[in-house]
Structure 1
């Protein structure tokens, strides 16, 4: 079983989201309902497919990626039930179905759309499974100054 760490750039999670680069640890999204969010480690086929997608979309996944083996197959995500104003959500979801119902009462978990260099066109997520990434570090795209969560 595997997880993968990447950088992510040229994406939007809401209309006013700013240009930035984030470091993310990716998992396979297993279950998403109201306050119940579960993810799994990728199996060998899925990690190969995800790294292939990364290779095809280097603009959105700049820099190196790091695959980690893990004994842990399933991971639990706890959403806060409080409304909060955050700079970024805690988790980002990539899905073929951008209208995935999050029943989102807060900003902990948000769907993203990969964008082109000019932020005009969407880049399709083509994999047959949904992925969820935990933001670990982010920095303003223009300043490149790191801001740690």
Structure 2
């Protein structure tokens, strides 16, 4: 997605800089929508890397050395993010359904608002998966045992 965004923006720059008489008006809205959707996939990557919404100052300074309290804070933080993500997923699902048959956006006749909302919905869906993994990890830290073993092959 990022590679396509770079290619489209580079194409725009080359066409304008060298005054090439080729009309590529579709590149600007496609690049804009790729940037928007890519932002939400970037948020999912931040969740995967456990770099999204975190209270690191409180965790590292106030709760330093208090592993149980840090785990509780992590659980509360992840649950807060998950509530937001679930609400966003639900509203994006509704927006995708209602926007599926909209007219062309930005001169691109095959692209509808529903397509854009679907891309954002997929980004939030990935974010939910990664935040659930973060929640399980925080619960494991709090309980001091591997709770995901029962969900994996060979777990008892």
Bigger relative contact order (CA 8 A; separation at least 6): 1
Structure with the bigger percentage of helix: 2
- Using structure 1 for the length normalisation, give the TM-score: 0.24
- Using structure 2 for the length normalisation, give the TM-score: 0.23
**Pair member with larger Rg:** 2
Structure with the bigger percentage of strand: 1
